[in-house]
Structure 1
Amino acid sequence: MTTALSARPQLRHLTAQLDELKRKGTYFHLRVLNGVQEPVSVYDGKQVINLASNNYLGFCNHPKLREAAIQAIKDYGVGPGAVRTIAGTMKIHMELEEKIARFKNVEACVVFQSGFTANAGTVSSILGKDDFILSDELNHASIIDGARLSRAKIKVFRHKDVDHAEELLKEVANEPGRKLIITDGVFSMDGDIGPVDKLADLADKYGAIMMVDDAHASGVLGRNGRGSIDHFNCHGRVDIQVGTLSKAIGAIGGYVCGSKDLIDYLCHRARPFLFSTSHPPSVTATCIAAFDLLESEPERIERLWDNTRYFKGELGRLGFNIGGVTTPASETPITPIIIGDGRLTMDFSRALFDAGLMATGIAFPTVAEGKARIRTIMTSEHTRPQIDQALEILEKTAKKIGISG
């Protein structure tokens, strides 16, 4: 007699693949956060300096966001009780979307349950099998999945290579069907900035749709964190702007900004929007408060960049490979420490944790084979002593396990 706890043979192939990860040294355990997300956090019961979080501006634990969430629960309850298109659209949802649209200088906005579903749901719904997608080779997985779901023909151009993108556009210029150019505003693994302005020039020249995923640019680039479109002064030239509410904004969710017709269409056809319950009121209120803070506390972004410049400079002085040779050079608070070998990278990450530093190792398939790295992310809330201590741990641990740095 079998029980629910018995290992069934139908999934033995998964066990074999996990064993292979362990053999390669890239298997990992999830670190568990005890308490709030802060520059110094407690993971697995151990206090560590945190260089792994997307909490760029410290909003995850901001008192005004906490107050907004609590008040929303009192006013609206804990859940909307339905998908948006049936009975789950609340006044507070509309308030958030209107606020984001004004902030991003567009006609309209729609909020999704995550940044991943915002990308995948948008790309898959606006294109079909007769259309073409021109995508940067290092675009986020959600873009790749959305492109595949659309059934459009996918053309991948070399990373940030605008000339190659144009070559591919010329190849399909006379083909029937729409053409979509898509890029990350900031690339999540290397921290470099996408050539949004130059790709927008191509979109104008060839009549293509222009789309930017601004997940890691929102709250980081542009005036008051308006993103890469503002950074490059490309307002009115990017048809589709995707952003996230789970990084600098400090909560969870994604959004799409653009024309009123685009947003109206997504409300009718984007499957993640149609078939997922809308955001809890507490999360929605938190996001509204966060956008207010972007306007009222711009000094947070200034601190973020001051910390970023200092940290990058010190990593370079210590001799760490932070990109620019075999990988793109970081231009943002995301700074990879390139190790190359997956096993060594994960060993380094574990040794750093033991020494008091949370800095996550990232290996294949998240990045290419031979490009494994420790990805570090600076925030506005790290103090100079905390940064100096993190640098000391990095230097000593690298030497201890034989990594040049």
Structure 2
Amino acid sequence: MPDFPKKLSAKLEQRATSNALRSFKPQSNLVDFSSNDYLGFSQSETIFQKAHELLTETKNTKNGSGGSRLLTGNYALIEKTEKHIAAFHNAQSALIFNSGYDANVGFFQSVPQRSDVILFDELCHASIRDGIGLSNARSFKFGHNDVEELEKLLEKFTTDGIDIYVVTESVFSMDGDSPNLEELAKIGRTHNAFLVIDEAHALGVFGHHGNGLVQALGLENEFFARIMTFGKGLGCHGSAILGSIELQSYLINFARSFIYTTALPPHSAAVISCAYRQLEIDGESLGKLRENILHFNREKNRLGLKPIFVYSKSAIQCAVIPGNDSVRSVAKLLQEKGFDVRPILSPTVPEGQERLRICIHAFNSEDEITRLLIELSAKLFG
């Protein structure tokens, strides 16, 4: 075997020199302020047992699906789960993908056509950007949550024969903030644009029974497509694209990340189904999460930390501490004090926007939240 390519070694060395080299971290017993498991569903023995019972009841004993959904990988439980998801989200259809990444790549690779235009928020997730990169449509970014810049772009490109897709997220993964969805819906109607939204970090956090920010605002009919990801608030794996029956049919026929992959196994479909049913009955976890978010913001303000945090009412709270070395140092101290808080480094975020990304959960105690913020304040100001 030849030596590892020198050009690749140089890129790794460059990452190491800038203190930005990624590597796996072992699991720890620290207080969790870093995972996306907002409701604690990934740890739920109730969901685990109910999924097992559902598999037994439906006589699903396979370890895998056996193939693509279009070949041998389709089965009754996954179709029933899709119908349940669609009803829960007040949508005509739901099509399950293997991950949120697969859903975004599949949608943007296949739906916008060569003559179309995609307008996307500059802070959209990498999976959205990768999908756009595979599209034949032209694409242009607009300033983060900047509806005025978006409207100027819409005025520029609105013309006969061009479909315009406007793309955003209901909760941004690296800031925790949200766009003005009512204003976005109004602009979309005015310019006859197709609105697409990723609700990965809103599912299980916002709305009645945690059904997302779009439904919380009663705007589900304004959006051409909603992407729901299950690896955050639902604590499991997979995702679904919500939309019309026609959109579902189109994706089944043209979304390559759906067509050319082995379908999720029955066990995954069972866990997704049971996690959704748990959302419908478990108001306690959702209520505790919202109380903890309020407590975090009150304590952040009391301790004088508000200026360094990005404004957020979500479970994601970000303290901007510029410089990879600086933010690593603060994260290391917090970890030594018993809190699992991770630094987000450039190039994941722009240089100068490095931050601590603190995730709030239903299972965190108010005392844990207060102690974390006291330690952060002491490190920065004291």
With normalisation by structure 2, the TM-score equals 0.95
User: How far is the alpha carbon of 1:274 from its aligned partner?
Assistant: 0.4
Structure 1 residue 172 corresponds to structure 2 residue 157: yes
Structure 1 residue 13 corresponds to structure 2 residue 7: yes
Q: How many residues align?
A: 379
Deviations for 1:141-185, whole angstroms, at most 9, x for unmatched residues?
111111111121112111111111010011111263211011101
Identify the residue that residue 68 of structure 1 maps to in structure 2.
50
Identify the residue that residue 357 of structure 2 maps to in structure 1.
375
Report the residue type matching 1:110 in the other structure.
L
Counterpart Cα distance in 1 of 2:308 and 2:165: 29
Counterpart Cα distance in 1 of 2:312 and 2:270: 33
Identify the residue that residue 289 of structure 2 maps to in structure 1.
304
Structure 1 residue 143 corresponds to structure 2 residue 120: no
SS at match of 1:88: coil
Structure 1 residue 333 corresponds to structure 2 residue 315: yes
Deviations for 1:25-83, whole angstroms, at most 9, x for unmatched residues?
222432122xxxxxxxxx2xxx2111001001110011221113334555322111111
Counterpart Cα distance in 2 of 1:295 and 1:100: 11
Identify the residue that residue 251 of structure 2 maps to in structure 1.
266
Structure 1 residue 255 corresponds to structure 2 residue 249: no
Structure 1 residue 286 corresponds to structure 2 residue 271: yes
Deviations for 1:255-312, whole angstroms, at most 9, x for unmatched residues?
1001111011111111111011111211111111111111101221111011011112
Q: Is the 8 A contact 1:80 1:280 kept in 2?
A: yes
Counterpart Cα distance in 2 of 1:64 and 1:157: 43
Report the residue type matching 1:117 in the other structure.
D
Identify the residue that residue 48 of structure 1 maps to in structure 2.
30
User: How far is the alpha carbon of 1:387 from its aligned partner?
Assistant: 2.2
Q: Is the 8 A contact 2:63 2:265 kept in 1?
A: yes
Structure 2 gaps of 5+ residues are: none
Deviations for 1:230-270, whole angstroms, at most 9, x for unmatched residues?
12211211110101011001101111001111011111111
User: How far is the alpha carbon of 1:369 from its aligned partner?
Assistant: 0.8
Identify the residue that residue 394 of structure 1 maps to in structure 2.
376
Range 107-116 or range 279-288, more displaced: 279-288
SS at match of 1:381: coil
Of 41, 59, 72, which residue of structure 2 is paired with 1:59?
41
Deviations for 1:7-31, whole angstroms, at most 9, x for unmatched residues?
x445222222222222222224321
User: How far is the alpha carbon of 1:101 from its aligned partner?
Assistant: 0.1
Q: 1:80 and 1:260, CA in 2 relative to 1: closer, same or farther beyond 3 A?
A: same
Q: 1:73 and 1:295, CA in 2 relative to 1: closer, same or farther beyond 3 A?
A: closer
Identify the residue that residue 5 of structure 1 maps to in structure 2.
none
Q: 1:73 and 1:223, CA in 2 relative to 1: closer, same or farther beyond 3 A?
A: closer
Q: Is the 8 A contact 2:112 2:135 kept in 1?
A: yes
Counterpart Cα distance in 2 of 1:261 and 1:175: 22
Counterpart Cα distance in 1 of 2:358 and 2:105: 26
Q: Is the 8 A contact 2:41 2:47 kept in 1?
A: yes
Q: Is the 8 A contact 1:137 1:158 kept in 2?
A: yes
Q: 1:317 and 1:28, CA in 2 relative to 1: closer, same or farther beyond 3 A?
A: farther
Report the residue type matching 2:343 in the other structure.
G
Q: Is the 8 A contact 2:330 2:376 kept in 1?
A: no
Counterpart Cα distance in 1 of 2:176 and 2:203: 13
Structure 1 residue 343 corresponds to structure 2 residue 337: no
Structure 1 residue 231 corresponds to structure 2 residue 216: yes
Counterpart Cα distance in 1 of 2:151 and 2:321: 33
Identify the residue that residue 37 of structure 1 maps to in structure 2.
none
Structure 1 residue 152 corresponds to structure 2 residue 129: no
SS at match of 1:361: strand
Report the residue type matching 2:261 in the other structure.
S
SS at match of 2:355: strand
Identify the residue that residue 24 of structure 2 maps to in structure 1.
30
Q: Is the 8 A contact 1:301 1:380 kept in 2?
A: yes
User: How far is the alpha carbon of 1:226 from its aligned partner?
Assistant: 1.1
Report the residue type matching 1:26 in the other structure.
A
Q: 1:81 and 1:191, CA in 2 relative to 1: closer, same or farther beyond 3 A?
A: same
Deviations for 1:317-349, whole angstroms, at most 9, x for unmatched residues?
22335656xxx5222110001101122112222
Report the residue type matching 1:98 in the other structure.
K
SS at match of 1:182: strand
Deviations for 1:351-401, whole angstroms, at most 9, x for unmatched residues?
3222211111001121111000010000111122322332344344x2xxx
Of 313, 334, 341, which residue of structure 2 is paired with 1:352?
334
Identify the residue that residue 109 of structure 1 maps to in structure 2.
94
Counterpart Cα distance in 2 of 1:151 and 1:261: 21
Q: Is the 8 A contact 1:180 1:210 kept in 2?
A: yes
Identify the residue that residue 280 of structure 2 maps to in structure 1.
295
Q: Is the 8 A contact 2:47 2:278 kept in 1?
A: no
Counterpart Cα distance in 2 of 1:52 and 1:162: 31
Q: Is the 8 A contact 1:80 1:281 kept in 2?
A: yes
Report the residue type matching 2:171 in the other structure.
V
Percent of paired sites with the same residue? 30
Structure 1 residue 163 corresponds to structure 2 residue 148: yes
Identify the residue that residue 366 of structure 2 maps to in structure 1.
384
Of 192, 198, 205, which residue of structure 2 is paired with 1:213?
198
Q: 1:29 and 1:353, CA in 2 relative to 1: closer, same or farther beyond 3 A?
A: farther
Q: Is the 8 A contact 2:55 2:270 kept in 1?
A: no
User: How far is the alpha carbon of 1:214 from its aligned partner?
Assistant: 0.4
SS at match of 1:211: strand
Counterpart Cα distance in 2 of 1:364 and 1:241: 29
Range 168-177 or range 374-383, more displaced: 168-177
